[in-house]
């Protein structure tokens, strides 16, 4: 009997125990078992029968890997019937109920020797039906079973973090000098130079320390356009 077959077989066993397949058909390709049974035991042996000169057999183990806006279809080839076989992937969206007929489906040729195909430009979050067809010079084999899959949506690009604003470096005033007057110490300076480039000062601050002690803030906001300041009560 043929392994995996359903129904009565036309095979016969002749008087010398040989398997006779007549007439020979494509469906008889596969594994055949010979089983001998008596009251003591059952003995089984198997052999493979290759039927050449036919259209290819259906592919098996069709699987679909959903990807962003695409799907990768893979399969295991069936017997080629004795000739070079090529494959094509057929697909259709599940926008409306689809009949099993494939005449309204889109077909894509598969490169020679390949067992998978990437189907691109699919609609996100939409169901699709996929099937694989094998062909040789004698014709087409049966379509594979239909596999349904839903491609994923577009990959989410993480937002680019906003750059932390870098404040430009402030330039110090130049040529600071001090002179004693009857009213106190007069400080004079020149505005910051052009190099390195930077913003114009909006205001100055005056700090003081004595004999290497801690700095003390004397005046917080001196107008940026000023170039001198009288500090009363200081000793030069």
Q: What pTM was estimated for this model as a whole?
A: 0.55
CA distance 39 to 67: 58
Closest CA to 118 of 170, 181, 162, 64: 64
* Mean pLDDT score, 15-25: 73
Non-local (6+) Cβ contacts of 134 within 8 A are 56, 57, 58, 59, 77, 78, 80, 85, 86, 87, 140, 141
pLDDT of residue 236: 53
**Most confidently predicted of 32-36, 141-145, 188-192:** 141-145
Structure tokens at 118: 């990437």
**What are the residue ranges of CATH 2.60.40.10 in the chain?**
60-149
pLDDT of residue 191: 84
pLDDT of residue 151: 86
pLDDT of residue 25: 74
CA distance 71 to 61: 16
CA distance 77 to 60: 6
Non-local (6+) Cβ contacts of 30 within 8 A are 2, 3, 4, 5, 48, 49
Indicate the pLDDT class of residue 198, thresholds 50, 70 and 90: low
* Mean pLDDT score, 2-19: 71
**Most confidently predicted of 4-18, 67-81, 164-178:** 67-81
| Torsion angle of the four alpha carbons 193, 195, 198, 202, in this order, in degrees rounded to the nearest 10 | -10
Q: What are residue 40's phi and psi, to 5 degrees?
A: -95, -45
pLDDT of residue 51: 81
Report whether 112 contacts 87 (CB < 8 A).
no
Non-local (6+) Cβ contacts of 155 within 8 A are 68
Class of domain 60-149 (CATH, top level): mainly beta
pLDDT of residue 230: 82
* Mean pLDDT score, 130-158: 87
Answer whether residue 115 shows pLDDT above 70: yes
Answer whether residue 196 shows pLDDT above 70: no
CA distance 77 to 32: 20
Of the chain, the percentage scoring pLDDT greater than 70 comes to 80
What is the H or E stretch that residue 19 is in? strand 19-20
Indicate the pLDDT class of residue 133, thresholds 50, 70 and 90: very high
Quote the mean pLDDT of the chain. 81
Structure tokens at 146: 């239909």
Closest CA to 129 of 78, 101, 91: 91
- CA geometry: angle at 106 spanning 102 and 109, to 5°? 105
* Mean pLDDT score, 198-207: 75
Indicate the pLDDT class of residue 166, thresholds 50, 70 and 90: low
Place of tokens 């990768």: 72
Reduce the DSSP state of residue 175 to 3 states and report it. Answer: strand
- How do residues 44-96 score in pLDDT, each as one tens digit? 888 878 788 889 999 999 999 999 999 999 999 999 999 999 999 999 998 75
pLDDT of residue 234: 66
């Amino acid at each position: 009997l043929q392994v995996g077959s359903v129904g009565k077989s036309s095979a016969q066993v002749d008087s010398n125990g040989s398997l006779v397949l007549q007439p020979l058909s494509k469906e008889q390709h596969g594994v055949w078992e010979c089983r001998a049974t008596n009251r003591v035991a059952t003995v089984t042996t198997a052999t493979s029968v290759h039927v050449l000169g036919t259209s290819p057999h259906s592919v098996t183990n069709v699987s679909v890997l959903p990807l962003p806006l695409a799907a990768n279809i893979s399969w295991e080839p069936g017997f080629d019937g004795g000739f070079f076989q090529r494959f094509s992937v057929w697909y259709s969206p599940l926008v409306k109920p689809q009949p099993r007929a494939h005449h309204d489906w889109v077909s894509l040729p598969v490169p020679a020797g390949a067992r998978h195909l990437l189907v691109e430009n699919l609609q996100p979050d939409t169901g699709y039906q996929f099937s694989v067809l094998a062909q040789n010079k004698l014709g087409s084999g049966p379509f594979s079973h239909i596999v349904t899959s839903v491609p994923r949506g577009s990959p989410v690009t993480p937002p680019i973090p906003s750059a932390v604003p870098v404040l430009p470096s402030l330039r110090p005033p130049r040529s600071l000098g001090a002179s004693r007057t009857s009213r106190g110490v007069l400080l004079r300076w020149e505005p910051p130079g052009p190099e390195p480039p930077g913003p114009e000062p909006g205001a100055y601050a005056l700090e003081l320390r004595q004999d290497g002690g801690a700095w003390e803030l004397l005046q917080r906001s001196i107008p940026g356009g000023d170039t001198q300041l009288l500090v009363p009560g200081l000793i030069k």
